[in-house]
Amino acid sequence: MLIFKIFRKDEWLDFKALGKTEGAPIDVADGFIHFSKAGQVQETVEKHFKDEKDLILVSCNVGDLEPDLKWEVSRGGDLFPHLYRKLLLKDIISQIEIPKIDGVYKFPDIF
């Protein structure tokens, strides 16, 4: 099963340069890295990234992140994946840019 992490472009470039990340400031403050399931990605982007224009969406395999991945109740009572360790570049399966065209994010068909 794949889960997804949204990065601002500058965060992604820093992550690529270092090969690891503790996540965005909100991740560091919360003590874990926030991920989303495929069905949660669009709402997460609209809620937390609506004013951003350069976003990168990465996918990771759940099995590669266990046992440091916990499923916890969050927004709307839904379970969200939270990673309790640094994310490593080798954990990334794929990456895509999410363009914002005329104020609307354009997601791949999988979402």
Domains (ranges, CATH) in the chain?
A: 2-103 (3.20.170.20)
- pLDDT score of 15 more than 80: yes
Per-residue confidence band for 111, with pLDDT thresholds at 50, 70 and 90: low
Segment 17-30 mean pLDDT: 97
Q: How far is CA 58 from CA 8, 70, 75, 76, in A?
A: 11, 18, 21, 23
pLDDT tens digits for range 55-76: 999 999 999 999 999 999 987 8
Of 53, 12, 66, 6, nearest to 34 (Cα)?
Answer: 6
Q: Which residue has better confidence, 78 or 110?
A: 78
pLDDT at 75: 79
User: What is the value of pTM for the model shown?
Assistant: 0.92
3-state secondary structure the chain: CEEEEEEEHHHHHHHHHHCEECCCHHHHHHCCEECECHHHHHHHHHHHCCCCCCEEEEEEEHHHHCCCEEEEECHHHCEEEEECCCEEHHHEEEEEEECEECCEECCCCCC
- pLDDT score of 33 more than 80: yes
C-alpha span between 56 and 79 (Å, rounded): 22
> What's the whole-number average pLDDT of the chain?
94
C-alpha span between 68 and 88 (Å, rounded): 13
